[in-house]
Amino acid sequence: MPGQRLSQIEGSVAVAQAVARCRPSVIAAYPISPQTHIVEGLSDLVRGGELIDCEYLMAESEFGAMSACIGASAAGVRTYTATSSQGLLFMAEALFNASGLGLPIVMTVANRAIGAPINIWNDHSDSMSMRDSGWIQLYAESNQAAVDLHVQAFALAERLSVPVMVCMDGFVLTHAVEEVELPEQEQVDAFLPRFVPQQLLDPKEPVSIGAMVGPEAFTEVKYLMHAKQVQALDEIPRLAADFEEMFGRPGGGLVAPYRTDDAETVVVTLGSALGSVEEVVDELREDGVRIGALGITCFRPWPLDEVRAALAGASRVIVVEKAFAVGAGGIVGQNVRLALSGLPATVYDVVAGLGGRPITRASLRGLFRDVLEDRMDSRSLHFLDLDVELVERELARTRLGGTGPHAEHMLRALVGVGAVPPGPEAPVGEES
Amino acid sequence: MTTVDLKLYQVGTFAAGNRLLPLEDRTVQAHPDRSNSITSGHRACQGCGEVLGARYVLDAAMRATGGDLVAVNATGCLEVFSTPYPESSWQLPWLHSLFGNAPAVASGVAAALRATGRGHTRVVGQAGDGGTVDIGFGALSGMFERNDDVLFVCYDNEGYMNTGVQRSGATPGGARTANTKAIGPEPGNAFGQGKNMPRIAMAHEIPYVATATVADLHDLERKVEKAMTFHGARYLHVLVPCPLGWGSASKDTILLARLAQRSGIFPVFESEGGEVTAVTPIRRRVPVEDYLRPQRRYSHLFGAHPRPDVVARIQAGADRSIARYGLLADSSEK
Ligand SMILES: Cc1ncc(C[n+]2csc(CCOP(=O)(O)OP(=O)(O)O)c2C)c(N)n1
Ligand code: SF4
Ligand SMILES: [Mg+2]
């Protein structure tokens, strides 16, 4: 592609570059791993004068960061932030506020597990916990996708006046150095029009934003939020097409079907796991298995028709997801079931990659084989690579009246210190 | 024949009719072109100190900025009574986001204005005492520490009034609220250090900090106008009696604000860069009892089982603040 630049670059740095080329006027952020490199990169670009006419606000918390974004966006400027995990939860109240006010803020979520137990590694429990916050959620499969989705996210947010979250797997993507084609400034300028706010705090035309709304119209305000998200289901493919025309590579769209045409079994997943899933699909295809994959790029709004169409021919659907609804089951899985209602497919919910556990090709192959050979029960939730022995031992211990934190006991069991009698060398902690 | 000099007005008293003052001494409210930032139709209680304070603060800020102003409001009485659906009392650009984030939202507005060459537009953030000293405390401290160009105003009615008069970190010791009732051996709110927000603001060494009450509206306006001459973080803490929460007569709002100042309970002062630069001396000192008695939230201190010990404790607090700020320095009643 003429004028485009391929570089070996860390995912976070690539995203920072892409965001900078979208020319935000206010960035307000608070550091948390694994988001840090993104906001540090942006801070450098602002300080170094590469990103001009931009205020970088060092918030005192994520709640403050999102709140500052709310203020900045209501004052009519393009606004960006990034966070992860605990930080996203710390923002929760402000997330619903931003979407309720219809403010087109763009945020990167560098996906990370939520404690306790505290864990800095990747899974999707953070963004999934905010799936109903009224933000559009786009999931990046690779760093190239992350870069490209950010450029589209600003356009989407501003067209609809809805906030957009771009989710990229923490460490797996944010800290991976790989080849990325960065969008050129002129291209971004041509693709992304100047931000024209749909509401604005302006002394010349004073308006009240965020006034109280009672039962008379609350339903209607919420209906419009829903309607706008539904509108995004048309807007996103249009933007992806425009993106492809401008940048010469696919924009992403709502879903990413892979070898699904004649597939009897389709594996649904989102984020960086898609790459490994596709590789295993290729391997099994070579063995003559009619299997395919479906990547969910847009999880909110839920592209029900597109998912249904992509899965219509499948008799087995395996949903591999990095989060779950404790006590209920899969989250993406439930949405997939909704999309498949009335169709005969059997859906298998599989939780994988929690707290950074690698989703290996070997494990995926084993899982798909188990499903293909009818060794899996579709009515229960499966945990990929669960250490059953460890869990059983801990359950047995508590059944015998053992107390104390599960996490610590299981860690001890893993490293074998449980066998050491308490003494001066023993780790400090309570004994059951 | 004896004659009596009839004084039509006295400058400096509270009885003066505004219309009789020289033009330059009149309040913003005396001007036909006042901005009416918060206009009629709001649903504040009769005698609400908060709406009075807000009106004077915002109209003064509007005058100081030539109407080039944006207001950010925390959740609380002021927000609720000013925007009864589908109406709004606000005649300036106004944004309400949440209870605990008004300072950060205001910082965001200021950053956006600066980034886009609209730094001439000034920003006022406002909240009740709960939104300021409790749930919004971290955000406010962040705004101070970054020295963002925001005037933050706390309308202190010493409790969470909007949710039905519960205690806040600014509720004084001994005061009865819905969750510190006058029951048990220590009736009313516990005595603690409280949160002395003006002093905490001063500790951030921000350009300007001031306290005021709705008893002296000229002083309040002057402080707002002064605050607007500074850039960076500024803090104004206004005592605003609340008839509903305090159990006082609507007509006594101004009286109580005045007694709070004259008893030493509420020191009125200004500070620049962390140093006190001016205090409003107490002209005729009153014992705290004069201030406490008209308020039902303190009635348990004076009823069938009076608590002179508690009153003495409140008096000691007032004495301490009189000494700390030298409030009697210019008076013979030391
Ligand atoms: C996060 C959150 N917690 C609690 C509330 C409930 N709430 C709304 S206003 C308020 C008290 C407001 O007190 P203050 O800030 O002093 O303002 P006032 O009403 O007294 O003027 C409370 C507790 C809320 N809206 N949001
Ligand atoms: S409860 Fe108090 S603060 Fe609220 S409107 Fe009534 S008088 Fe004003
Ligand atoms: Mg209050």
pTM across the whole model: 0.94
- Whether residues A72 and B109 touch (CB distance < 8 A) is answered with yes
A4-247 and A255-383: identical CATH topology = yes
Question: What is the least distance, in Å, from the CA of A62 to any CA of chain B?
Answer: 10
- Whether residues B115 and A68 touch (CB distance < 8 A) is answered with no
Decide whether any atom of ligand 1 lies within 6 Å of the B76 Cβ.
Answer: yes
Q: What CATH class does A255-383 carry?
A: alpha beta
Question: What is the least distance, in Å, from the CA of B21 to any CA of chain A?
Answer: 31
Distance of CA A323 to the CA centre of its chain: 11
- Whether residues A208 and B94 touch (CB distance < 8 A) is answered with yes
Helices A406-415, A388-399: inter-axial angle, 10-degree rounding:
120
CA atoms of B152 and A42, how far apart (whole Å): 29
Q: What is the pLDDT of residue B7?
A: 55
Phi-psi group of A404: left, alpha or beta (phi > 0 → left; psi -120 to 50 → alpha; rest → beta): left
Residues of B in contact with A53 (CB under 8 A): 115-116
Decide whether any atom of ligand 2 lies within 6 Å of the B148 Cβ.
Answer: no
3-state secondary structure of A324: coil
Q: Does residue B13 lie within any of the structural domains? A: no
Q: What CATH class does A4-247 carry?
A: alpha beta
Q: Domain ranges in chain A?
A: 4-247, 255-383, 387-432
Does any CB of chain A come closer than 8 Å to the CB of residue B36?
no
Q: Does residue B131 lie within any of the structural domains? A: yes
Decide whether any atom of ligand 2 lies within 6 Å of the B253 Cβ.
Answer: no
CA atoms of A405 and B188, how far apart (whole Å): 40
Q: What tens-digit pLDDT sequence spans chain A (432 residues)?
A: 444 567 899 999 999 999 999 999 999 999 999 999 999 999 999 999 999 999 999 999 999 999 999 999 999 999 999 999 999 999 999 999 999 999 999 999 999 999 999 999 999 999 999 999 999 999 999 999 999 999 999 999 999 999 999 999 999 999 999 999 999 999 999 999 999 999 999 999 999 999 999 999 999 999 999 999 999 999 999 999 999 999 999 999 999 999 999 999 999 999 999 999 999 999 999 999 999 999 999 999 999 999 999 999 999 999 999 999 999 999 999 999 999 999 999 999 999 999 999 999 999 999 999 999 999 999 999 999 999 999 999 999 999 998 888 888 888 888 875 444 443 333 343 333
Lookup: tokens for A53: 């006419």
Lookup: tokens for B187: 């009736």
Burial class (CB in 10 A: 0-12, 13-18, 19+), B247: middle
Question: What is the least distance, in Å, from the CA of A335 to any CA of chain B?
Answer: 31
Does any CB of chain A come closer than 8 Å to the CB of residue B292?
no
Residues of B in contact with A208 (CB under 8 A): 83, 88, 90, 94-96
Q: Per-residue DSSP letters for B70-131? A: EEEE-SSHHHHHH--TT---B-S-EEE--SS-HHHHHHHHHHHHHHTT-TTSEEEEEEEHII
Query: Using CB atoms, which residue from B91, B94, B139 is nearest to A67?
Result: B139
What ipTM is given for this predicted complex? 0.93
Q: What's the CATH number where B189 sits?
A: 3.40.50.970
Provide the residues around ligand 3 (an ion) whose CB is within 5 A.
B 128-129, 157, 161
DSSP lists the bridge partners of residue B155 as B128, B238
CA atoms of B280 and B322, how far apart (whole Å): 11
- Whether residues B115 and A58 touch (CB distance < 8 A) is answered with no
Q: Does residue B173 lie within any of the structural domains? A: yes
Phi-psi group of A57: left, alpha or beta (phi > 0 → left; psi -120 to 50 → alpha; rest → beta): beta
Contact assessment for residue B83 and residue B43, using Cβ atoms and an 8 Å cutoff = no
Contact assessment for residue A191 and residue A242, using Cβ atoms and an 8 Å cutoff = yes
Q: Does residue B172 lie within any of the structural domains? A: yes
Q: Does residue B190 lie within any of the structural domains? A: yes
Query: Using CB atoms, which residue from A64, A206, A214 is nearest to B139?
Result: A64
Residues of A in contact with B84 (CB under 8 A): 212
Q: Does residue B238 lie within any of the structural domains? A: yes
Q: What is the pLDDT of residue A5?
A: 66
Q: Which of A26, A107, A200 to mutate to test the interface with B (most CBs of B within 10 A)?
A: A26
Residue A137: closest CA among A109, A158, A113 = A109
| Residues 118-147 of chain B whose Cβ lies under 8 A from any Cβ of chain A | 121, 138-139, 141-142, 145-146
Q: What is the pLDDT of residue A7?
A: 84
Alpha helices in B159-252 (DSSP H): 197-203, 217-227, 243-246
- Whether residues A76 and B112 touch (CB distance < 8 A) is answered with yes
Decide whether any atom of ligand 2 lies within 6 Å of the B161 Cβ.
Answer: yes
Sheet with A316-321: strands ordered across: A255-258, A291-296, A265-269, A316-321, A346-351, A382-383
Q: What share of chain B is helix, strand, coil (3-state, %, to 5)?
A: 40, 15, 50
Instruction: For residue B280, give Cα distances in angstroms to A429, B85, B201, B272.
Output: 58, 41, 19, 15
Q: What tens-digit pLDDT sequence spans chain B (334 residues)?
A: 677 665 554 555 554 456 677 877 788 888 888 999 999 999 999 999 999 999 999 999 999 999 999 999 999 999 999 999 899 999 999 999 999 999 999 999 999 999 999 999 999 999 999 999 999 999 999 999 999 999 999 999 999 999 999 999 999 999 999 999 999 999 999 998 779 999 999 999 999 999 999 999 999 999 999 999 999 999 999 999 999 999 999 999 999 999 999 999 999 999 999 999 999 999 999 999 999 999 999 999 998 999 999 999 999 999 999 999 999 965 444 4
Q: Could you give the count of Cα atoms lying within 13 Å of A57 in the half-sphere of its Cβ?
A: 43
Q: Does residue B26 lie within any of the structural domains? A: no
Residue A325: closest CA among A337, A317, A313 = A337
Task: Among B156, B158, B162, B253, say which to mutate for ligand 1: greatest number of ligand atoms within 8 Å of CB.
Answer: B162
DSSP A403: -
- Centre of ligand 1 to C-alpha B258, Å, is 26
Task: Among B96, B99, B126, B297, say which to mutate for ligand 1: greatest number of ligand atoms within 8 Å of CB.
Answer: B99
Terminal Cα distance for chain B, rounded: 40
Q: What is the pLDDT of residue B329?
A: 64
Q: Does residue B10 lie within any of the structural domains? A: no
Lookup: tokens for A84: 């992860």
Question: By residue range, what is the domain housing residue B111?
Answer: 35-325
Report how many domains make up chain B: 1
- Centre of ligand 1 to C-alpha A99, Å, is 21
Residue A386: closest CA among A409, A366, A405 = A366
